[in-house]
Structure 1
């Protein structure tokens, strides 16, 4: 496929500024085995996580974190490194830990060893246990260790829960499990979370090409997002791992297409960067647009075919009149992935992996907003207008943003995708 490039805003870390009596979210410069890819889409009306991972070892393996040494070819980051790189640590030290707030993780199927893995993750990184609530409104199928689809979602669940907890350690987490990856099952699970008011933020680390669900299904997603926004619930979704391309609905080819639900105007789409930080301290050095040609993966991004440009993007200096994604970004590279405990993979119980993909950014951004909600003592709801207002206000912009101006998300994809 022809390579397509697009330049877009890749802001880095988040901080909180008090202006009068209001809280303004301000973004600024962030002061093993073969890779497994979990981003193919092989059926219509199906959401698939945008996730990649490397096997590192087991929980009791002293060499499992060798990727945190400069001598190793691949790099990875633990909890302290990510907190420092994105300036979360100073907020935590002041008691802004997400306490009193709840993050909803929306995923499909289940991760049968999640509670044990979360306990191992907490023990490895010195985190206190949290209130983890797991609900499956329609039930989920029995665990099938031979199902690649179930295994994919189990991986997604593990990284979502562990890393939301890592960034906002005192926020409660509610995992809402849909009975499948199909839109008709995910949408009721989303509506359940909204109707039951299960949390302040909803994280959705999955996507599909906008043209696959159909107008009626896209409307059902949007109606749910309208309802969530009316309750001041903040919505995040990963922007995809295939650059400006998505698989066609039959899974046999690629075309230029934005990923939904990230492209919805009421959702904050999370793209990807490659973070360059100290492996030991996490001190920030630089970021580039995430693009790994060897994986045929890059940060999702482009323009919607469905949604018109929202008012909050009016000042963006591009001619296109459609909604642009992503809105923000976060470290997504497999070379610098985040350490996660996951027992449901092919390497068995107690496995330690380094995870990458834009799926990794959505739960961590959700955690950051949980901290912001605690700081402001209220739900912030849709944050996109203030993000763009800061970006278009010179005095705020120069102290708040660090644009990622190097790299692109253009990739060359094979004509016929491989099945996962």
Structure 2
């Protein structure tokens, strides 16, 4: 068991709903918390504020039973996904990265990150990952050690991210980059810093904003040879989200994951809150050309993982203030992005800098090695596969979810 966690203050958080204008080959819509996908978000609360122009917001959501404030817990919630369950669901049990490094890029500071991560890992019998051992590094957006000021919502996002990497890849090293703000410039600078760190093979970005052009921001995410993942957002089919729509990034959608008595032991369907859509700006992936996306440009998503806060949400140690923490249950596509980054790290196959091969092309060469998610929807749309699951590629879940590491 992990060490006890202090009781804490209640928190209030607001969060992300993405807005994006879609052009040729797509439709246009604005993200709206009262829109047709509001049912998907019941009993959960976004933790980050809506993004201003030029900014992103984190895509984490916390379970808030019956719409009430989340209870303060001294132990993991019984309904929260554990590391053993996550690895079983995605057939990762027994896999190892050999000590590869996953980087996480978020905004603002989180003073209790190391101690909260220690509690999480001890609770579930995972090997310690500490700053002292070199397993954990916490850096600013330039790679330095002077860290930015605390922000509650983004700190809760970081808690979900580091716990998700720990659950999916217990032997991975972790680098957390804390940007000075939620601007794309600061977050992107953080991605660049992560890419310079020796040993980093995957970089997770659990945030998004309006659809944007790689001509403006692509330099921050273009790292062939490193798997860069990004969350699709939590507003259902309402428009594309950047950086998930970048041609350089693996766009990660969300599923509902439920224990079952079938051969796999789990069932998966589209989480109705997951984002999906078509970029108005960025080029379609050549690897996706034969999959009938229906998008004239970049289609979102490529793959998916557990995201439904209530059905597949992860048990997490999270902060409620700059000095206090507790247990809770978190989801959103913020859960899925670090899971997929971890699977890339486990596979050791993250593209090639020498041949300028991006990691997002890899699953398209191995679709049969993924769990195909063929049921569920995340809204209404003019082209069926943009919002409704089907056999093969679809917008909400891409090609599917991990079935071991062979799809990556």
Instruction: Please report the TM-score for the alignment, with normalisation by the length of structure 2.
Output: 0.73
Distance 1:137 1:308, change over 3 A: closer
Counterparts of 1:35-54 in structure 2, within 5 Å, are 35-38=44-47, 40-54=49-63
Matching residue of 1:157: 158
Q: Deviations over 1:293-335 (max 9, x none)?
A: xxxxx11111111112221111012443211111000111111
Per the TM alignment, residue 381 of structure 1 is displaced from its structure 2 partner at its CA by 6.4
- Of 271, 277, 297, which residue of structure 2 is paired with 1:290? 271
The answer as to 2:84 corresponding to 1:80 is yes
Q: Is the 8 A contact 1:82 1:282 kept in 2?
A: no
Matching residue of 2:297: 322
Q: Deviations over 1:324-380 (max 9, x none)?
A: 11100011111121100012359x73411100100001111111111111899x999
Q: Is the 8 A contact 1:101 1:172 kept in 2?
A: yes
Q: Deviations over 1:40-70 (max 9, x none)?
A: 5241111111111126655635xx5333xxx
Distance 1:136 1:319, change over 3 A: closer
Q: Is the 8 A contact 2:47 2:154 kept in 1?
A: no
Tell me the distance in 2 between the aligned counterparts of 1:265 and 1:389: 17
Q: Is the 8 A contact 1:334 1:355 kept in 2?
A: yes
Matching residue of 1:179: 180
Tell me the distance in 2 between the aligned counterparts of 1:319 and 1:202: 28
Matching residue of 1:125: 124
Instruction: Please report the TM-score for the alignment, with normalisation by the length of structure 1.
Output: 0.71
The answer as to 2:138 corresponding to 1:134 is yes
SS of 2:167's equivalent in the other structure is helix
- Of 334, 344, 354, which residue of structure 2 is paired with 1:359? 334
Distance 1:374 1:354, change over 3 A: same
Q: Is the 8 A contact 2:278 2:299 kept in 1?
A: yes
- Of 316, 324, 346, which residue of structure 2 is paired with 1:340? 316
Q: Point out where structure 1 has 5 or more consecutive residues left out of the alignment.
A: 7-32, 68-75, 144-149, 246-256, 292-297, 392-396, 413-420
How many residues of Structure 1 are paired with residues of Structure 2 in the alignment? 327
Per the TM alignment, residue 390 of structure 1 is displaced from its structure 2 partner at its CA by 2.3
Distance 1:290 1:119, change over 3 A: same
- Of 250, 265, 274, which residue of structure 2 is paired with 1:268? 250
The answer as to 2:351 corresponding to 1:370 is no
Tell me the distance in 1 between the aligned counterparts of 2:216 and 2:188: 7
Tell me the distance in 2 between the aligned counterparts of 1:375 and 1:42: 30
Tell me the distance in 1 between the aligned counterparts of 2:124 and 2:85: 11
Q: Is the 8 A contact 1:233 1:381 kept in 2?
A: no
Matching residue of 2:97: 98
Tell me the distance in 2 between the aligned counterparts of 1:375 and 1:385: 10
The structure richer in helix per residue is 1
Per the TM alignment, residue 277 of structure 1 is displaced from its structure 2 partner at its CA by 1.4
Q: Point out where structure 2 has 5 or more consecutive residues left out of the alignment.
A: 1-18, 27-41, 65-69, 130-134, 382-408
Tell me the distance in 2 between the aligned counterparts of 1:359 and 1:199: 20
Tell me the distance in 2 between the aligned counterparts of 1:123 and 1:59: 16
Tell me the distance in 2 between the aligned counterparts of 1:122 and 1:57: 21
Tell me the distance in 1 between the aligned counterparts of 2:141 and 2:331: 29
Distance 1:81 1:244, change over 3 A: same
Tell me the distance in 2 between the aligned counterparts of 1:318 and 1:409: 16
SS of 1:369's equivalent in the other structure is helix
Tell me the distance in 2 between the aligned counterparts of 1:350 and 1:233: 33
Distance 1:173 1:42, change over 3 A: closer
Matching residue of 1:30: none
Distance 1:331 1:345, change over 3 A: farther
Distance 1:319 1:119, change over 3 A: closer
The structure richer in strand per residue is 1
Matching residue of 2:110: 111
Per the TM alignment, residue 142 of structure 1 is displaced from its structure 2 partner at its CA by 3.0
Tell me the distance in 2 between the aligned counterparts of 1:299 and 1:34: 16
Cα RMSD after superposing both structures: 3.1
